[in-house]
Amino acid sequence: MGRVRVLILHATGTNRDRETAWACEAAGGEPEIVHVNQLLRGERRLANYHMLILPGGFSYGDALGAGRLWAVDLRHLLGEEIQTFIESGRPVLGICNGFQALVKAGWLPGPPFTGEGGDHQAVTLTYNASGHFECRWVWLQANPSSPCVFTRGLSEPIYCPVAHGEGRFVPRDEATLQALQSHGLIALTYVAPDGGPARYPWNPNGSVADVAGICNLQGNVLGLMPHPEDHIVPWQHPRWMRGESGGLGLALFAAGIHYAASL
Amino acid sequence: MDIRIEVRWRSHLPEGRVRALQAQLALLGLSGVREIRIADLYFLRGDLTDGEVETLCRELLADPIVQEYRWGRTTPAPPASPSPENGQWVVEVGLHPGVTDAVAERLLQSARHIGVRGLQAAVTGTRYEFTGALDEATVRHIAEALLCNDVIQFYTLGPLTPVFAPAAPSGEVEAIPLRAADDETLLRISRERVLALSLAEMRAIQEYYRERGRDPTDVELETLAQTWSEHCVHKTFKAQIDYECRGGIPRHLPDGSLRHPPYREAIDGLLRTYIRAATETLGKPWVRSAFVDNAGVIALDERWDVSFKVETHNHPSALEPFGGANTGVGGVIRDILGVSARPIANTDILCFGPQDLPEETLSPGVLHPRRIATGVIAGIEDYGNKMGIPTVSGAILFDLGYTANPLVFCGCVGLAPRGSHPRSPRPGDRIVALGGRTGRDGLHGATFSSAALTHDTAQTVGSVVQIGNPITEKAVTEVVLAARDEGLYTAITDCGAGGFSSAVGEMGREIGAEVELSHVPLKYPGLRPWEIWLSEAQERMVLAVPPENLPRLQELCDRFDVEMTVIGHFTGDRRLTVRYHGAIVGELDMAFLHEGLPRRHLTAVWEPTVEPEEPPPPGDPARVLLRLLALPDIASKEATVRRYDHEVQGAVVVKPFVGRENDGPSDGVVLCPPETRSFRGIAIGCGINPHYGKIDPYAMAWAVVDEAIRNVVAVGADPDQVALLDNFCWGDPSLPDRLGALVRAAQGCHDAALCYGAPFISGKDSLNNEFLDPQGRRTPIPPTLLISSLGIVPDIRQAVTMDLKAPGNLLYILGITRAEAGGSAWYRVMGGRGGTVPAPVPESLQTMRALHRAIREGRVQACHDCSEGGLAVAAAEMALAGGLGLTLSLSDLPSTPDVATAEMALFSETAGRFLVEVRPQDRAALEALFSGLPCACLGRVTEEPVLRITGRRGDPILALPVGALKQNWKRDAIWAGYES
C-alpha cells in the first residue's frame, strides 16, 4: 500500500483542520482537507481514503450545542458512507468539535450502546463545569487495555492543550460508564502531572471519571476533546524554553496512520 | 399558532451557566436568590405537525443525556403579570427584531436538512427562574443588571411574546433641500440626520450642489457624511494646527538637540508631520506597506509578509459590551482579509472603570464597569475563538476615567505570501459583495463614533450596535484566501464603517464605479436605498473581479456556503453612480467625494498642570510590593486570557503564560507559523500607560514606545526590525487643551520612533471619547496612546521567556534607574501625588541591541522588562513564574543621585530597563557586551523560594515567600468568575 490518504473533513466553522493536516503529514500520511459539500456533490468520495478525521472548530457556530448540527448533517446527509467507512475498520478520529459530532451522531461509543431503535446517544459532551470556554494544557493517559488503534503502544502520557466550552463528558448513567470502562472504551483520561487522578484544572471541564476520549468497541473510532495536533513539534511545548519536552501528540496520529497502512 | 419550546437541564450534575450566574449575583451583593434555573426558549412559526416538532426537539434542540424539553402551541400570551409563578420569579429575555440571531438562522437550515420543511421562522430567547426571598424591584434589578441589555434585548416578568419579523417601513429616495438652506438649517440637517458634519463642511456640499443646480439626494448626502467622517478620513490628524507649548519637558529631537518650551508653531497635519514623517525618514526596506492599505505590512523573510492592524470599538462597547467588542474583533479581522492575508493572531487591549465601583456613583445610562468588562471579554472570546484565531496578546487597565467610556482596542496580525495582494481594480471588473446579508444594522456607525456619548445615546442610536456572526466571517475567510491563491480578484476591501458607500467609494476612487442597490441581498425587505448603501451589517467583503473569473469564484462560494452577489462594476469615468431599480439615486464625482472636504484649522495649547511632588508616606516595602502585585492593572489576567483560545493554529511558541506552572506573565508572544517552514518568528507586544499621559503626553509617548519595543526585544526580537502601530484615544479635539495634549503625544511618537529606528506602519485615532452627563458635564477619558509592536525573531530556537530557570544563576539589571514615580503604580496605590513621569531614554536602543546580541549568543536564560511597579514587581514576577527565589542587593544599582530611598529604587518606573538571568559562566561575556552601558549584577537565583532584597548598605528591605507573591498576584480570579 502507498501513502495513507487521510480525509480531513471541513464543515463551515471548522478551524483546526490545517494543524491536523500538518500533524498527519508529520506522521507520514497524505492529508487532504475536504469540505462536507465536496462529499455531498460527489467531488470527493470517502471510500477513496484510508483514514477520516473530524477536526476541531465551531461547526455551524456550535449553534444549538457543540457539534450538534454537524452531527445532524453527517447522519442525515452522509450517514451511510460514514457508517460503511467505520464498519470497514478504517480509522476515524474526532478531535474536540469532531468528537462532539461523533458522540452526538451516535458513532461514539457506537453499538451496542447506541442505535438499533434506541437512543442515538449514550453519552454527551456538554457545557464545562466552569460555565465558560477554557484553554490550557493537560496531561492525557492512555488506557493500556483499550482496543483503540490510536492509543495502542502509547507508553508516555500526551501533553497538549484543550480549548473548548463544551467538553464535559457525561454518560447516560452509571451502568453506561461501567460498561464503557469494562470494555476499555475509555481510551484516554485526564491525569495530574504526577499521573494521579486529575482534579481541576487538570480535568479542565468537570468530565465524569476524568474521561478525555473514548473509542468504539472495534477500537477504530476515537474521539477526544484535547488537541494533540497542537503539539507536534517540541517548540510548541509551553516549557520548551525551560528545556522541557516530550508528550508529543504526534504519537496518536502516527499510530492511526500506521494502523491504516496495515489494513 | 406559534410553537413555544423550553429546553432545560435535567442532569444531577450542577449546570455551569447557573454557577456562573450565581457568581455574578454574589458580585452584585444579592444574597436572596436560593435557586436558579435557566431554560433555552425557541419560538417556531410555520406549518408543523406534532411529530415534526418532536423531531426538532429530539434531534436539534435538546441534548438527550443532560437536557429535557417541553413544548406547546401558544396564542400570544396576555400581558405578563409581575408576580411570582408558583413561588418563582420568572424573567424571559428576547432579542429585538432585526438583531442578528445566528442560532435561529441555523435552526431554519438544519430543520430542512432533517426533512422538516414547514418551518418558516424561528426566534430564540432565555428563561430564568429565581426562587428565594425576592421582590419585584430586586428581580428587575437582576434582569437589567445581568440578563438583558435593552439596546439589543427586551425582557418580561413572566412569559414573553416573541417578535418575529422586523417592522419594515418602506421608502424611497428623498432630495434634501440644501441649496436654499441658511447656516442654521445646514447645522440642523447635519444634527438631525446624525451626519456629524461641521458648518464649513455643510457649506462645501451646498456649494457643490448649487453649481450643479440641484439638491443632493439622501444617498449622496449620507455618502459624503460617511466619507468625510472623523472615523473614515481622520480630519483632526490632517488639520492645520496652531500650537502653543507652554511647558513640560523639552522635546528630544532626532538630531540629539532639545527643544525647550515655551514656543509656538504651525503644524501642517499631525499625521503628515509626525507619524508618516517618521516612517518616511527611516525608510526601512523591510516595510512593505505603511498607511496606504487596510493594514501595515512588513517582511517576515524572502517569501512571507506579516500585516498588523489595530482598531478601536469604544462607543459600541459602552452601549452593548458583548456586541461592541464582538464586532470590533470581526472588523479588524476583515482589515487583515482586506490585505489578502490569513489572520494568525488577535490582540486585545481593554480599558475599563474600576470593577468595584459603587453602583450608586454611576451616571444614568452608564453600564457598570464590571458588566462592561464581562460583556467585552465574552464578545472577544466568542469571535476570536470561533474564527480559529489565537488571541495572544493584550492588557487590561482600570481607571475611573474609563467608567462611562471604556476603550476596546482590537488587533489582528496576518500572514501572506509576498506579492499575493492585488490592489488595482480595472474598468469592467465586477463589484462583488461576499458574505453576510445587508440589514438596517449599524446605520451611522461612522458618524456616531465621531461624536461624544451622552446618557441617552443608547436610545437615540441603538441601531448602531450589532451582534456579529463569526461563522459567516470564517466561511468568507476561506473563500477569500482560496480566491487569492487562484488570483481571482484585482482588488479587495472590507465593508466596515460606512458600509458599501465607503468600500466602493474607496476602491473606485481612481476609476469610478456604478452600483445597482436592488441587487444587494437583504436580511428583510423594506430598506430604503440609502440604508442599503450605508448599512454596516457585518461579515461582508467587497471584491473587484474580472468577469471571466466570476464562475470560478461562484464555485468557491458554493463550496463554502458563502453568498456572492455582483452589485455593479468599475467604470473608468471617475464618478460614483448609484442606481436603485435602474434609476439613478446618487451621482458624485470621485474627486469631490475624496478631495472636496475643507481642511480644518484648529488651535492647540499644551500647559502642564504642575502639582508639587508628594511621595506616599514611608511604608513597609514588602507591603507595598504585595499591594502592587494585587493591583488589577498588574495582577494576573489568567482568568480572562484562558477564555481565549491562544493555541489554535499551532504557531504560538512563546505563549501568553510561561514558567514552571504555565502562569507567568510573558512580556510578548512569539509566533512561528508552521506554513512558513522556517524558524523565523513574529513577536507581538504593546505599550500603554494613560497615567503618564495625565501628567505629560510627550513623556507618555516615549515611555509606551519604549515599552512596546522592550516587550518584543525581551522575548528575542531584533530591535532593528520592529514596526509600530499607533492608536490614539482622546477627547474632543475641538477643545484646545485636548488637542494640545494630542500634539504632545504625536510629537513624542515621532521623536521616539526616529530614535529607536522603529517605523509606524499603521495607525488609527478614536476621538471624542467624552461622556456628557444629564447635567451637561463633560468628562473626557484619560489621554490614551496604545503602541503595538511587531518584531522579527531571527530564530525562535533562541527566544527567551521571563521565568527564572535555575538556582545559582545571576540576575542583572540593564538600564539606569531614575527618580521617576509620577503616575506610577506605586503612587497610585499608596497615595503619592505629582512627580516626574518616566522621561525619554535616548540610549535605550543601544541597550536593546546589546541585549539582543546576548540573546543570540545564548547567554540569556530569562529576561523581563521593568514596567508598571518597577524593578520590584519585575523581579517578583520572574520569581513566581520560575518558582524560585532571588537574593538581590541594591548596592550596585545603576541610578541617578535623586534615587534617595529604597522605595524609589524598587518602584520607580524609568523606561529602558530589563532584568536578565545569566549563568555564572556567561558573566564575563555578558559584561563585555554591556561595557559602557548601564548594567549591574544585583544578585542571584536561589532554590529557596523567597524574594530577598537588601539596600545600599546591606540593610534588609524585604523578604517575601514566592508563594505569597503569587497569591497576591493571582487575585483577579475573583472578578472574572474563574473558579470552577
pLDDT single digits (tens) B782-830: 999 999 999 999 999 999 999 999 999 999 999 999 999 999 999 999 9
Domain count within chain B: 3
In this complex, is the C-beta atom of B256 within 8 Å of any C-beta atom belonging to chain A? Answer: no
Residue range B446-456: mean pLDDT, rounded: 62
Q: Which of B323, B384, B372, B316 is nearest to B348 (CA)?
A: B384
Is B386 in contact with A129 (Cβ distance < 8 A)? no
CA dist., res. A162 & res. A137, Å (int)? 6
The CA distance from A263 to the nearest CA of chain B, in Å, is 31
Dihedral over Cα of B906, B912, B914, B918: its sign: negative
Rounded to whole angstroms, how far apart are CA atoms B540 and B468?
11
* DSSP class of A209: G
Give the pLDDT mean for A56-61: 95
Residue A102: name the closest of A117, A89, A120 by CA: A120
| Nearest beta carbon to residue A135 from set B560, B642, B650 | B642
**pTM greater than 0.90:** yes
Q: Which pLDDT score, from 0 to 100, does residue B462 have?
A: 47
Encode pLDDT of B707-733 as tens digits: 999 999 999 999 999 999 999 999 999
Question: Is the pLDDT confidence value at B325 over 50?
Answer: yes
Write down the pLDDT at residue B979.
Answer: 38
Say which residues have a Cβ less than 8 Å from residue A8's Cβ, sequence separation at least 6.
A17, A20, A21, A24, A31, A32, A33, A34, A53, A55
Q: Which residue has the cell 516549557?
A: A239
How much is the average pLDDT of B306-327? Answer: 94
Domain boundary among the residues B157, B192, B215 is at: B157
For chain A, what is the domain count? 1
> Does residue B165 or residue B492 have the better pLDDT?
B492
pLDDT band at B526 (very low <50, low <70, confident <90, very high): confident
Rounded CA gap, B966 and B661, in Å? 11
At B735, the pLDDT band (50, 70, 90 cuts) reads: very high
- For residue B925, being part of any structural domain is answered with yes
Strand partners, B542: B433, B493
Residues in CB range of B400: below 8 A, 6 or more apart: B353, B354, B357
Phi/psi-derived region of residue B473, left when phi > 0, alpha when psi is between -120 and 50, beta in every other case:
alpha
Q: Complex ipTM, two decimals?
A: 0.97
Q: What is the pLDDT of residue B464?
A: 54
Q: Please indicate if any CB of chain A lies within 8 Å of the CB of B8.
A: no
CB contact under 8 A, B645 and A133: yes
- How far is residue A236's CA from residue B403's CA, in Å, rounded to a whole number? 39
Nearest-angstrom CA–CA distance, A43 and A53: 18
Q: Is residue B933 part of a domain?
A: yes
Residue type, B511: I
pLDDT at B360: 87
Record: contact A238-B662, CB cut-off 8 A? yes
Contacts of B12 in chain A (CB under 8 A): none
First to last CA, chain B: 42
CB interface of B with A, residues 876-935, below 8 Å? none
- B948: in domain: yes
B398 has a pLDDT exceeding 70: yes
Q: Are strands A51-54 and A92-95 parallel, antiparallel or unpaired?
A: parallel
Which range among B6-20, B749-763, B832-846 shows the weakest confidence by mean pLDDT?
Answer: B6-20
In a domain, B23, yes or no: yes
Residue B974: what pLDDT? 41
CA closest to B800 among chain A residues: A241
Taking the CA of residue B603 and the nearest CA in chain A, the distance in Å comes to: 49
Cβ-nearest to A69 among B20, B110, B115: B110
Q: What's residue B643's pLDDT?
A: 96
Reading the block at residue B49, the C-alpha cell is 405537525
- Count CA atoms within 13 Å of residue B555 on its CB side: 11
Cell numbers standing for residue B183: 447656516
What is the average pLDDT across A219-234?
A: 98
Per annotation, catalytic residue among B252, B313, B421, B691? B313
Contact A232, A247 (CB under 8 A): no
C-alpha cell at B689: 500607560
Cis peptide before B262 (omega within 30 of 0): yes
Q: What's the whole-number mean pLDDT along residues B438-443?
A: 79
pLDDT at residue B169, as a whole number: 52
Closest by CA to B385, choosing from A99, A58, A228, A229, is A58
With residue B139 as reference, give the H or E element that holds it: helix B136-142
B680 near A CB under 8 A: no
The parent domain of residue A13 ranges over: 5-262
Determine the pLDDT at residue B85: 73
**Which among B428-442, B444-458, B685-699 has the top mean pLDDT?**
B685-699
Range of the domain at B123: 2-157
Distance CA B197, CA B181 (A): 15
In contact, B168 and B526? CB cutoff 8 Å: yes
- Among residues B493, B492, B488, B482, the alpha carbon closest in space to that of B549 is found at B488
Task: Over range B520-528, report the average pLDDT.
Answer: 85
Written in H, E and C, the secondary structure of B849-876 is HHHHHHHHCCCCCEEEECCCCHHHHHHH
What integer pLDDT is reported at residue B674 of this predicted model? 95
A139 Cβ contact partners less than 8 Å away, ≥ 6 residues apart = A157, A158, A159, A190, A191, A192, A193, A195, A198, A202, A247
Cβ-based neighbours of B361, under 8 Å, separated by 6 or more:
none
Nearest chain A residue (CA) to B61 = A64
Residue B907 grid coordinates: 518602584
**Confidence check: pLDDT of B514 > 60:** yes
d(C-alpha B783, C-alpha B351), whole Å = 12
Assess B428–A contact: CB distance below 8 Å, yes or no: no
**Distance (Å, rounded) from C-alpha B457 to C-alpha B454?**
5
Q: Sign of torsion, CA B412 B418 B421 B423? A: positive
pLDDT tens figures, B945-969: 999 999 999 999 999 999 999 999 9
Q: How confident is the model at residue A153 (pLDDT cuts 50, 70, 90)?
A: confident
Cα distance between residue B587 and residue B565, in whole Å: 22
B636 Cβ under 8 Å from any chain A Cβ: no
- List Cβ<8 Å contacts ≥24 apart for B200-204: B200/B598, B200/B600, B201/B228, B201/B597, B201/B598, B202/B178, B203/B598, B204/B596, B204/B597, B204/B598
The verdict on A133 touching B (C-beta cutoff 8 Å) is yes
Residues 6+ away with beta carbon under 8 Å from B299: B286, B288, B305, B306, B418
pLDDT at B342 over 80: yes
Domain final position from B597, B613, B641:
B597
Specify the pairing of strand B935-942 against strand B946-950. unpaired
Of A119, A91, A120, nearest to A106 by C-alpha is A120
If one compares B275 and B445, the residue with the highest pLDDT of the two is B275
Q: For residue B943, is it within any domain?
A: yes
B157 Cα to chain A: minimum distance (Å): 25
pLDDT at B150: 81
Residues of A marked as catalytic: 96, 227, 229
Q: What is the pLDDT of residue B113?
A: 85
A117 near B CB under 8 A: no
Rounded-to-integer distance, Cα B440 and Cα B166, Å = 10
Model pLDDT, residue B432: 98
Distances from the Cα of B470 to the Cα of A203, B341, B564, angstroms: 28, 17, 17
Residue of A nearest to B559 (CA): A37
User: In chain B, which residues have their Cβ closer than 8 Å to the Cβ of A18?
Assistant: 649, 675
* Residue in chain A nearest B805 by alpha carbon: A242
For B676-697, give the DSSP string: G-SS-EEEEEEEE-HHHHHH-H
Arithmetic mean of pLDDT, B262-276: 95
Identify which of B795, B956, B820, B804 has the alpha carbon closest to the alpha carbon of residue B896: B820
Give the range among A122-136, A244-258, B140-154, B455-469 with minimum mean pLDDT.
B455-469
Residue B638's pLDDT is 93
**Calpha distance B744→B248 (Å, rounded):** 10
Q: Which residue of A has its CA nearest to B659?
A: A239
Q: What does DSSP say about strands B540-545 and B430-435: parallel, antiparallel, or unpaired?
A: antiparallel
B474 touches chain A (CB under 8 A): yes
Which grid coordinates belong to B586? 446618487
Asked if residue A206 has pLDDT above 80, the reply is: yes
End-to-end CA distance of chain A: 9
Does residue B686 fall inside a structural domain?
no
Which pLDDT score, from 0 to 100, does residue B496 have? Answer: 85
Give the pLDDT band of residue B170 (cuts 50, 70, 90): low
- For the stretch B824-844, pLDDT in tens is 999 999 999 999 999 999 999
Predicted confidence at residue B824, as pLDDT, reads 97
Query: Where does B572-688 have alpha helices with state H?
Result: 590-595, 621-630, 638-641
Nearest to A51 by CA among A121, A106, A3: A3
Other C-beta atoms closer than 10 Å to the C-beta of B705 total 29
- pLDDT value at residue B466: 76
Q: Residue B20: its chain A contacts at CB < 8 A?
A: 130-132
Share of chain B above pLDDT 70, in %: 95
CA distance A257 to A53: 11
Give the per-residue pLDDT at B776.
Answer: 81
Cα B768 from chain centre: 17
CATH number of the domain at A49, please. 3.40.50.880
C-alpha cell at B324: 461592541
CB contacts, 8 Å: A20 with chain B? none
Is A64 within 8 Å of B107 when comparing Cβ atoms? yes
Q: How far apart are CA B766 and CA B732, in angstroms?
A: 10
Q: What secondary structure does DSSP assign to B463-476, as a single string?
A: GG-----HHHHHHH
pLDDT at B454: 63
Chain A residues close to B105, C-beta within 8 Å = 63
Q: Which of A126, A128, A132 sits opposite B63 (nearest CB)?
A: A126
Round the CA-based radius of gyration of chain A to a whole number and report it: 17
8 Å CB contact between B894 and B935:
yes
Residues of B in contact with A132 (CB under 8 A): 16, 20, 381, 643, 977
Enumerate the residues of chain B whose CB falls inside 8 A of the CB of residue A190. Answer: none
Locus of grid cell 493500556: A144
Q: Which residue has the higher pLDDT, B234 or B918?
A: B918
| B70-to-A35, B9, B40, B93 alpha-carbon distances in Å | 35, 12, 11, 18
Grid cell locating B105: 438562522
Q: Is residue B836 part of a domain?
A: yes
Residues of B (637-656) whose Cβ lies below 8 Å from A:
642-650, 652-655
pLDDT band at B446 (very low <50, low <70, confident <90, very high): low
Q: Residues with Cβ < 8 Å from B140, sequence gap 6 or more?
A: B157
Residue B760 domain-assigned (yes or no): no
Portion 160-179 of A in contact with B at CB < 8 A: 161, 163, 168, 170-172
- List the single residue in B with minimal CA-CA distance to A11: B560
Among the three residues B537, B570, B597, which one is the final residue of a domain in this structure? B597
Q: What are phi and psi of B41, to 5 degrees?
A: -110, 140
Q: Residue A134: closest CA among chain B residues belongs to which residue?
A: B643
**Distance, CA of B546 to CA of B495 (rounded, Å):** 20
